[in-house]
Amino acid sequence: MNEHLEHLKEIRSLMERSSKFLSLSGLSGISAGVCALLGAWYAYAKLHVDGSSVLNNPEIRHEMVPQLVIGALIVLAFAFLFGILFTVRKARKQGLNVWNKTSKLLLLNLMIPLGAGGGFCLGMLYHGFFWLCFPATLVFYGVALVSASKYTMHDIFYLGIVEILLGIISLFLAKYNLIFWAIGFGVLHIVYGTVMYYKYDRQTNPNES
């Protein structure tokens, strides 16, 4: 009886590996969180001069927006770069191929909401609704995680839900938008990445102390 149960567990594990991308590294989440916190610090420094927000000054705000967009793109680039590096490293240790049908579906389901959110935010910037970009990025990112969770660890689904809720709450607390953004992309990613590392990555490296 025990032997049959073991066989069933092995079959289930093989089916899960074939239908889900399980090589996402917890270190990717931690590195993304650190990048986001650095980005939030940069944005705060740019938006607050002598203790007051430059958003109240249309002329200064017009100059700052391109700098903040460039800063956000740099943060995004580094987060993706570290994410790819740590994921590839984990996949190699597992003896798995990173670029396969499942990872392509994962990326597709992730990029469609992210692309839509990016276009939406550019439109809001064009019309001067700068403060709405913070909650919008949280909401669209959360939707992207929920969409992509079908093809990877289900834990990402819950992270996505929390991101969406944070974005909606920050819509009604515009004064604290940057704080919510830092929590969503910074703190939550570090917490999530740490949990994922000890839950999944350590199983891949049982000899690590």
Q: Where are the domains of the chain?
A: 24-204
Residue with more model confidence, 134 or 10:
134
pLDDT of residue 58: 60
> How far lies 165's CA from each of 120, 130, 157, 194, in Å?
19, 20, 13, 21
- Mean pLDDT of the 169-187 span: 93
Reply yes or no on whether the pLDDT at 8 is more than 50. Answer: no
* pTM score above 0.95: no
107 and 63 in contact (C-beta within 8 Å)? no
User: Per-residue confidence at 72, pLDDT binned at 50, 70, 90?
Assistant: confident
Cα atoms in the Cβ-side hemisphere of radius 13 Å centred on 34: 11
User: Per-residue confidence at 31, pLDDT binned at 50, 70, 90?
Assistant: very high
> How far lies 62's CA from each of 32, 58, 122, in Å?
28, 6, 14
Distance CA 100, CA 164 (A): 29
pLDDT of residue 59: 60
Please write the tens of the pLDDT for every residue from 37-55: 999 998 888 777 655 565 5
